[in-house]
Amino acid sequence: GRTVGQIASVLSAKGIVDPGDWPKCVTIGRIDSMRVVGEKESDLERRYYISSRALTAAQLAAAVRAHWGVENRLHWILDVSFSEDASTVAKDNAPQNLSMLRKIALNIIRADKTDTRKSS
C-alpha cells in the first residue's frame, strides 16, 4: 500500500571534499525520495552519502536499499522482539554488551530449524 520514488545522484568528491577530513572519500551521493501511502504524499526527503568507492547512481541506489534491508531485517526485529529501543541501560559498556547478547540470541533462534512455525 505504499509507493516510493527515488532519484539518486552522484559526483566525484575530488575538489569538493577535503582529503584531510575524509582521506578515502571518492564519491558524494544524494538520494531524493518521496512516499505515497494511500492518498497521503510525504514531503521530499533528501539524504547525502559519502563513499570510498566510485559509484554510479544505480550502484548508490542499490547500496542504500541494501542498507535499509539490513535495518529492517535486524534492527526492527531487535526492537520488536527484544524491546531494544526501550532499554534504559546506559552505564559503562552495558549497552554494547546487551546489544551483542541480543544479536547472539537472535542468531541462535534463526539457526534453530526444529520448529518452522513463526514464533516470537
pLDDT tens digits for 7-62?
999 999 999 999 999 999 999 999 999 989 888 988 899 999 999 999 999 999 99
Going from the C-alpha of 19 to that of each of 13, 15, 29, the distances in angstroms are 9, 9, 17
For residue 71 the three cell numbers come to 535495518
pLDDT of residue 59: 96
Dump pLDDT digits (tens) for 65-116.
Answer: 887 776 777 777 888 888 888 889 889 999 999 989 988 988 888 888 786 6
Q: Rounded to the nearest 5°, which phi and psi values hold at 88?
A: -105, 10
pLDDT for res 11: 96
| Model pTM score | 0.59
Q: Can you give the pLDDT at residue 118? A: 63
Q: What are phi and psi of 51, to 5 degrees?
A: -145, 150
Q: What is the DSSP string of the chain?
A: -EEEEEEEEEEE-TTTS-TTTSTT--EEEEEEEEEEETTEEPPPEEEEEEESS---HHHHHHHHHHHHHHIIIIIHHHHHHH-GGG----STTHHHHHHHHHHHHHHHHHH--S--S---
